[in-house]
């Protein structure tokens, strides 16, 4: 099959976004190019009818919205939420060290990483530097392979194929970035970062850096029906929300928008995460800036619908017993509505029906995922948003395999289908 244009743009977006900081920068670039005006939280807001705006918090979370023709108290909000972060390995503050003549980097595990998938991969480094002479952090990206976590040869671990590999986070994960020699002197990491950034080493006051797969995203499968990429969870949902907002009609009764949160993979408890007041602050400021008050805000939230978009589990051909028999989503079979009786997903019968109605209007098939009753269920920003904002919420996502691996897998046709449904949500 020919790769859909929307999927091609998704792969380009993923490759441009090795970190949450780069994801937000790329989303911001695209929004500004489409006429969105950047606001700052510390400044007053003046909003015009049909105006297009965005605001960034912490460099890794973003809200973008289009003001509706009617006040929010009369027409509500139509919103989509996703998250910019993915499980990975992040550098410790004093990361550089030498062991047995190898230069290595100390790392911490961020989120629910499938650790073994990071071994024997060509790893690149990206993130941001905090500099003494700049108000804003400097984005850094070393795209070439600079690090590798070498596996141990089977000759030294004969039972690995029968008993499996147990990866110790402290001792096994520090990647090798070179050999010591003169470069093993103290401060070699900061010197290397300074060279890459074109600054003096003394100007670097701090950093937020993480490793990522150096290989680009790819179309796969004999007929091109698959995509292989890092960070599909959840940059695919971020991109779908962004494309839908950019594709949506210029005017509508409701105020429409998206929120791309950081830190979902570690519980969302941060100034930029879903447990922060970021979205609620934006809602209130929209209500105030469009002539309303707190009463209008309460009315708006009651009239709203929030779509929590996060990738879903497709049935795995080798582990079908790990799936609920009546709910086995398949690749390239459409978006998935995610349901959990313990509200690990925020979906209700009402919100599921509203999403399915949007899918029907977009002529898109819908699947349903329910976890096996005897397996613990993951969660999303959906329940957090529903509880904090009091907005009816539905949890959805496109089906995928290898979730939380360094390389993930999805269907090439599903991305355009999700964009179509979210665009209907914004119409």
Position 184 confidence tier, pLDDT thresholds 50, 70, 90: low
The tens digit of pLDDT for each residue in 255-311 reads: 999 999 999 999 999 999 999 999 999 999 999 999 889 999 999 999 999 999 999
Mean pLDDT of the chain: 96
- In angstroms, the CA 247 to CA 357 distance is 19
Query: Lowest-confidence range among 9-13, 248-252, 399-403, 420-424?
Result: 248-252
Three-state SS for 44-97 is: CCCCCCCCEEEEEECCCEEEEEECCCCCHHHHCEEEEEEECCCCEEEEEEEEEE
Nearest-5° Cα angle at 29, 26 to 31: 110
The tens digit of pLDDT for each residue in 196-214 reads: 999 999 999 999 999 999 9
Q: Give 5-86+230-426's CATH code, choosing from 3.30.470.20, 3.40.630.10, 3.40.50.2300, 3.40.190.10.
A: 3.40.630.10
Instruction: Read off the pLDDT of each residue in 227-251 and give the average, rounded to a whole number.
Output: 97
| Peptide bond before residue 234 is cis, with ω within 30 degrees of 0 | yes
The tens digit of pLDDT for each residue in 10-42 reads: 999 999 999 999 999 999 999 999 999 999 999
CB neighbours of residue 23 within 10 Å: 30
What is the secondary structure of 241-255 as a DSSP string? HHHHHHHS-S--SSE
Query: Do 5-86+230-426 and 88-213 have matching folds?
Result: no
Could you tell me how far CA 397 lies from the centroid of its own chain? 12
Position 183 confidence tier, pLDDT thresholds 50, 70, 90: low
> What pLDDT shows up at residue 154?
95
Position 2 confidence tier, pLDDT thresholds 50, 70, 90: confident
CATH 2.60.40.10: does it fit domain 88-213?
no
CB neighbours of residue 144 within 10 Å: 8
Number of H helices, E strands in the chain: 11, 20
Considering only CA atoms, which of 370, 384, 108 is closest in space to residue 264?
A: 384
Position 182 confidence tier, pLDDT thresholds 50, 70, 90: low
pTM above 0.85, yes or no: yes
The tens digit of pLDDT for each residue in 327-370 reads: 999 999 999 999 999 999 999 999 999 999 999 999 999 999 99
Strand order in the sheet with 399-401: 218-220, 226-229, 408-411, 399-401, 312-313
Spans of all domains in the chain: 5-86+230-426, 88-213
The tens digit of pLDDT for each residue in 128-142 reads: 999 998 999 999 999
> What pLDDT shows up at residue 306?
98
Position 187 confidence tier, pLDDT thresholds 50, 70, 90: confident
Position 173 confidence tier, pLDDT thresholds 50, 70, 90: very high
Considering only CA atoms, which of 29, 33, 85 is closest in space to residue 61?
A: 85
Burial status of residue 117 (CB atoms within 10 A of its CB: 0-12, 13-18, 19 or more): middle
- In angstroms, the CA 321 to CA 341 distance is 21
- In angstroms, the CA 277 to CA 107 distance is 30
Residue 390: pLDDT over 70: yes
> What pLDDT shows up at residue 329?
98
The H-or-E segment that residue 140 falls in is strand 138-147
């Amino acid at each position: 099959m020919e790769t859909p244009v929307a999927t091609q743009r998704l792969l380009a977006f993923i490759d441009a976004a090795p970190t949450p900081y780069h994801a937000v920068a790329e989303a911001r670039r695209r929004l500004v190019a489409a006429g969105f005006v950047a606001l700052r939280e510390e400044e007053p807001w003046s909003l015009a009818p049909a105006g297009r705006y965005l605001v960034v918090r912490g460099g890794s979370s973003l809200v973008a919205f289009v003001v509706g023709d009617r006040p929010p108290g009369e027409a509500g909000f139509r919103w989509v939420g996703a998250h910019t972060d993915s499980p990975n390995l992040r550098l410790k503050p004093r990361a550089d060290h030498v062991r047995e003549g190898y230069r290595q980097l100390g790392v911490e595990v961020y989120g629910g990483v499938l650790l073994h998938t990071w071994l024997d991969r060509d790893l690149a480094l990206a993130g941001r530097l905090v500099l003494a002479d700049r108000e804003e952090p400097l984005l850094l990206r070393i795209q070439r392979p600079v690090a590798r976590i070498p596996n141990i040869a089977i000759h030294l671990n004969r039972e690995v194929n029968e008993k499996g590999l147990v990866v110790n986070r402290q001792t096994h994960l520090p990647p090798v970035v070179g050999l010591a020699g003169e470069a093993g002197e103290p401060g070699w990491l900061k010197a290397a970062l300074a060279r890459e950034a074109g600054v003096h080493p003394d100007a670097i006051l701090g950093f937020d850096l993480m490793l990522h797969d150096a290989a680009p995203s790819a179309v796969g499968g004999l007929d091109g029906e698959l995509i292989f990429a890092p960070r599909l969870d959840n940059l695919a949902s971020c991109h779908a929300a962004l494309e839908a907002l950019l594709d949506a009609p210029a005017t509508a009764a409701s105020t429409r928008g998206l929120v791309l949160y950081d830190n979902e993979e570690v519980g969302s408890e941060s100034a930029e995460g879903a447990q922060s007041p970021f979205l609620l602050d934006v809602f209130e400021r929209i209500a105030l800036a469009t002539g309303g008050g707190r009463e209008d805000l309460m009315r708006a939230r009651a009239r709203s619908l929030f779509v929590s978009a996060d990738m879903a589990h497709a049935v795995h051909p080798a582990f079908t017993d790990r799936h609920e028999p009546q709910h086995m989503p398949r690749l390239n079979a459409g978006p998935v509505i995610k349901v959990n009786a313990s509200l690990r997903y925020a979906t209700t019968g009402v919100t599921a029906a509203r999403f399915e109605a949007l899918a029907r209007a977009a002529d898109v098939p819908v699947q349903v995922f329910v976890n096996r009753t005897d397996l613990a269920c993951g969660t999303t920003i959906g329940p957090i948003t529903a509880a904090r904002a009091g907005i009816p919420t539905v949890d959805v996502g496109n089906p995928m395999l290898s979730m939380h691996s360094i390389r993930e897998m999805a269907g090439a046709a599903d991305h355009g289908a999700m964009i179509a449904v979210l665009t209907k949500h914004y119409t």
